[in-house]
Amino acid sequence: MIDIKKVSVRYRGTTEDALSDINLSFKKGDFICILGKSGAGKSTFIRTINGLQTPTIGEIHLDGLQISNKNEKQLRIVRREMGMVFQHFNLIPRLTVIQNVLTGKFGYRNNFKSLIGWFTPGELEHAERVISDMGLSKLRDRRVEHLSGGQKQRVGIARALIQQPKILLGDEPVASLDPGTSNEIFALLKELHNRLELLTIINVHDIDLAKRYATRILSLKDGEIIFDGSPDEFTEDDYQKTYHSTKPSHV
């Protein structure tokens, strides 16, 4: 589904690669968790997959088509296939739940209709369905600035789902949430992954969540993949190599 071929990324003005010679393939059914300490390249990796960052070298293919050499207009079409959820939710605080969810439709419409906030009955009905699915019906008309972190992330997920993506990308989607809520959000992401057959790729700092939910763990260090395997294969030694710190009691 996604093939990453010899991809390196070096930011302008820097002397080191943020990602270095990455070669990976992801298929439908993968629930990938990416581990790595701060600065390892996790965000760069996710951003490079959905075209927010262009590889300095190498290619990314989606279903056999190269997507890493597209212009902004073509990238908008590619990004419809990829829903994205963020650490800080990236919602519009003064807009309501349903208004925020509907912004997920913007990739499909012309700018004028989006600007004046005009949506078809079909689009509105779709938004209602996704909101209900996320357990947000009672909060439909509440401004998102008044929601809890977990509720905000559900809105973020609903906004991603309304695009009807094949791929769900998460850049630290639970890093701002408490452990209980983080687990709830991961359980929700896993349920959606199974039900909608999404390829899911998520950056996460919490190794317990990665071990509980991932079908495959990747570990990044200094822009390189240093582990690629099943959660069971990720050992204490891999943990040490990834984080260079002493073993926590829960591993």
Ligand X SMILES: Nc1ncnc2c1ncn2[C@@H]1O[C@H](COP(=O)(O)OP(=O)(O)OP(=O)(O)O)[C@@H](O)[C@H]1O
Contacts to ligand X by CB under 6 A: 11, 14, 18, 36, 38-44
Q: Least distance to ligand X from the beta carbon of 8, Å?
A: 12
Does an H or E element contain 23, and which? strand 19-26
Q: Least distance to ligand X from the beta carbon of 18, Å?
A: 3
Q: Least distance to ligand X from the beta carbon of 115, Å?
A: 29
Q: Which is nearer to ligand X, 86 or 119 (CB)?
A: 86
Q: Least distance to ligand X from the beta carbon of 224, Å?
A: 12
Q: Which is nearer to ligand X, 36 or 83 (CB)?
A: 36
Q: Least distance to ligand X from the beta carbon of 158, Å?
A: 24
Answer for the pair 142, 133: CB distance below 8 angstroms, yes or no. Answer: no
Can you read off the two tokens belonging to residue 101?
């969810």
| Whole-angstrom distance, CA of residue 78 vs CA of residue 73 | 9
Helix pair angle (179-196, 149-161), 10° resolution: 20
Q: Which is nearer to ligand X, 97 or 220 (CB)?
A: 220
Can you read off the two tokens belonging to residue 55?
């590889």
Q: Which is nearer to ligand X, 99 or 242 (CB)?
A: 242
3-state secondary structure of 72: helix
| Whole-angstrom distance, CA of residue 240 vs CA of residue 249 | 13
Q: Which is nearer to ligand X, 36 or 170 (CB)?
A: 36
Q: Least distance to ligand X from the beta carbon of 47, Å?
A: 7
Q: Which is nearer to ligand X, 22 or 101 (CB)?
A: 22
CA-nearest of 77, 100, 85, 97 to 142 is 97
174-203 per-residue burial string, b: 16 or more CB within 10 A, e: under 16: bebbeeebbbbbbebbbebbeeeebbbbbb
